[in-house]
Amino acid sequence: MRVACWQAFPEAGGLERFLERLRTAARQAADGGAELLVTPEMSVGGYPLTTSALAEARGPVDGTQSAAIAAIAREAGISLVHGWPESEGGTVYNSAMITSPDGRLLAYRKAHLFGAGERARFVPGHDGVVQTVLGGLRVGLLICYDVEFPEAVRAHAVAGTELLLVPTALARPWEFVARTLVPARAFESQLYIAYTNWIGGGQGREFCGLTTVAAPDGTRLTVEGGGEELLFADIEPGVIAAARAATTYLGDRRPELYGEDG
């Protein structure tokens, strides 16, 4: 499977402008041979997380906003991952969703909220592993800070995830996360991680880019420039199998020592 990661500038303009930009990025990704396009964290609503932008972007999993994104996936013939403030009753989650061209939806709610700002706006999710199958690969979702917890990534590996999609909003001075921690997570849990970030910004928050696809064999592709860009990467099942055979972390685990059930 070829995946494209959209490293994007935060931009005002509301939902309609985002949908316009997403439509362009989806077409470009599909033209580049990608079957899946991953956007940054909270790509609908964007950053900074203003009250007005979040209010406009809020919606349920199966709302009109999701229908508009599903139409873009169908038109471009590509699966899409977007983030948005999901509303359910009076509760708001920081969520991400995979939308396939045939209309299948899979949503995940961020479990590890970062800082007082997120905790004031969102309620944490309670699902550890959310997966689906795309292009013959078992694909999972985490969001930003989630990937910094090794337990969260390892749970995916144990459950069979081969490609972990991580929309993020990583700001300076935390470049270490993209450069070192994400590749380490991919290597130690023997899966691919597609870590997709914003670039630029303002109002006291500068996103560092460094969108990365890290492989289980220790290699990675990354966007080192400071601009908006699509990063393309080919996800190879053979690389996963070879890495798991060469570095047998998953088979050598002793979960009875870690307080786990299995």
The CATH code of the domain that includes 115 is 3.60.110.10
Task: Kindly report the three-state secondary structure assignment for every residue of 41-85.
Answer: CCCCCCCCCCHHHHHHHCECCCCHHHHHHHHHHHHHCCEEEEEEE
Angle at which helices 182-189 and 150-158 pack, to 10 degrees?
30
Which pLDDT score, from 0 to 100, does residue 191 have? 98
Residue 129 belongs to some domain of the structure: yes
Residue 132 belongs to some domain of the structure: yes
| Other beta carbons within 10 Å of 158 | 15
* Contact (Cβ atoms closer than 8 angstroms) between residue 153 and residue 165: no
Residues 6+ apart with CB under 8 A from 21: 8, 11
Which of 35, 86, 118, 144 is an active site residue? 144
Judge whether 41 counts as a catalytic residue. Answer: yes
Q: Are strands 229-234 and 2-7 parallel, antiparallel or unpaired?
A: antiparallel
Residue 182 belongs to some domain of the structure: yes
In the block, which residue shows the tokens 């450069």? 179
Residue 262 belongs to some domain of the structure: no
Which of 110, 118, 148, 208 is an active site residue? 110
pLDDT tens for the chain, 262 residues: list them.
Answer: 999 999 999 987 788 999 999 999 999 999 999 999 999 999 998 887 788 888 888 899 988 999 999 999 999 999 999 999 999 988 999 999 999 999 899 999 999 999 998 999 999 999 999 999 999 999 999 999 999 999 999 999 999 999 999 999 999 999 999 999 999 999 999 999 999 999 998 667 899 999 999 999 999 999 998 999 999 999 999 999 999 999 999 999 999 998 865 4
Residue 203 belongs to some domain of the structure: yes
Which of 5, 35, 41, 162 is an active site residue? 41
Judge whether 256 counts as a catalytic residue. Answer: no
Residue 32: give the domain boundaries.
Answer: 2-257
Which pLDDT score, from 0 to 100, does residue 150 have? 97
Give the total number of structural domains in the chain: 1
Of 47, 66, 144, nearest to 106 by C-alpha is 66
Judge whether 110 counts as a catalytic residue. Answer: yes
